[in-house]
Amino acid sequence: MPKPFRTLWWPVATVFLLVGCSDDSAEHAWEQYHQQLAAALDTPLPTRSEPRNIGAFPERQQRLIDVPETRDGMLNIYALRECQITSLIAARNNQLGRVAPPSQHWLYERSLWQRLDACWNSDIPNTLGDDDKARLAQLTDLKTEQLPAVSWNAIFDSDEWEKSFSRASSPLPPGGADDISEQLAALTYLRQMVNEQFSHRWEQDSSRLENHLKTLQERPLTAEVLRALLLAEQRLREANQLLTQTSDEEACLTVDTPVWIETMATHSQQWLVSVNQLIDAHPITPPDAVATYQRDWLSLDNPEAPWSQFQSTWKEHTALKSAHTTCTPD
C-alpha cells in the first residue's frame, strides 16, 4: 500500500511574527524552514554552520582621494571681490567652517566652483589686470578639476556612509514589514548631487542633504543586505543537502516560493543596484581599495560576490524542490 503524501507547508504568517522581534529574526525564519523541510522529508535536520563574515570596509585613508589644500594666497585675492567669493571663503575659514562635516565642505566647494565659473564666463575677467585674470583662470580650473574628488570624499569620508557598511550589524529582517524606501531616496538624492555637481541650474539644499545622510546613519543597511545574502546562501546550501540526500520521492512539497525570501532578494537587489549607481556616478577612478570592495561584495555581476552566490544557490534549491511531487488538494 503506497504511503500517503506528506505535505510541506510554509506558514508565512508565522514567519512574519518573527520579523523585527530581535536581531535573530532572519535566523529564526531559516531555522523554521529547515524544520518544516526536514519533517516533510522525514529526515534529520541539517548540520548548520555559521555563514561567512562580511568584508571589512576600507579604512578612511584607503577610500579617500587626495585633494591638496588651496593656497591661502590664491584665495585671498581682493581683486576677485566682484566674483562674490570673499564672504564664502571667509565663512569657510572661520572656526565653524574649519570643523564642518564633509557634507558641508562639499556644499562649500560646489558653491565656490559655481561662483568662479560664472565669474569667468562673465565680463568681469575683462576688467582685471593680467595677473589677476590669470589667477582667476587658474583658480577656476583648479576647482573644476578638484570638485569630483571633493564630491567623492564628501560621501566616503562621512560617518553616515561608513556606518552603512559596519560589521556591527545583523541580517536584513525577513518579510515585507521592512521598508527601505527612505534609504533608497537618500541614495537617489546623493546620486543626483553627483550628477548635477557642475550644473548652475540645480540648487543644492543643505537641509535635504543632512536629512538624507541622517536617514543612512539610522541603520547599517548595506551590511544588513550583505549579511542577509550570506545567511541565505548558507542556509539554502544546507536545505539543498536535505533535498539531495533524501530517497523518499513521495514526499510532497509545495513549489511556491516563500514570500519572505523573495522580499529579501528584492530589497537586496534594489539596494545593491542603488549603491553601485552612486559609486559609478562619480566621474573619477575609485581608489583601489574601494574598487576591490565593490567588485568582491557589492557587484551584481561577479559570480563570487554575495548576490550571485545567493542567486546560484537559490536557483539550485528551486530545481531540487521541483524534482519532488507537487502537492494537490485533498
What is the pLDDT confidence band of residue 4, given thresholds at 50, 70 and 90? very low
pLDDT, tens digit, 9 for 90 and up, residues 152-198: 999 999 999 999 999 999 999 886 556 899 999 999 999 999 999 99
Whole-number pLDDT of residue 97? 60
pLDDT number for residue 316: 95
Unique residue bearing C-alpha cell 538624492:
189
Average pLDDT over residues 236-259: 75
Identify the band that residue 118 occupies on the pLDDT scale cut at 50, 70 and 90.
very high
Between 93 and 311, name the one with better pLDDT.
Answer: 311
pLDDT of residue 40: 81
C-alpha distances in Å from residue 120, one per residue of 5, 25, 79: 80, 58, 13
Q: What is the mean pLDDT of residues 31-50?
A: 88
| pLDDT(248) > 60 | no
Judged against a pLDDT cut of 90, whether residue 217 lies above it is answered with yes
pLDDT at 77 exceeding the cut of 80:
no
Average pLDDT over residues 73-89: 77
In which band, very low, low, confident or very high, does the pLDDT at 96 lie, cut at 50, 70 and 90? low
Q: Kindly indicate the confidence band of residue 258, based on its pLDDT and cuts at 50, 70 and 90.
A: confident
Radius of gyration of the chain (CA): 27
Q: Are 231 and 270 in contact, with CB atoms under 8 Å apart?
A: no
Q: Could you tell me where the DSSP H helices lie in 43-127?
A: 60-63, 72-75, 86-93, 95-98, 102-120
Q: What value, to the nearest 5°, has the Cα angle with vertex 307 and ends 265 and 16?
A: 25
Q: Give the Cβ contact number of residue 305 at 10 Å.
A: 20
Mean pLDDT score, 294-300: 98
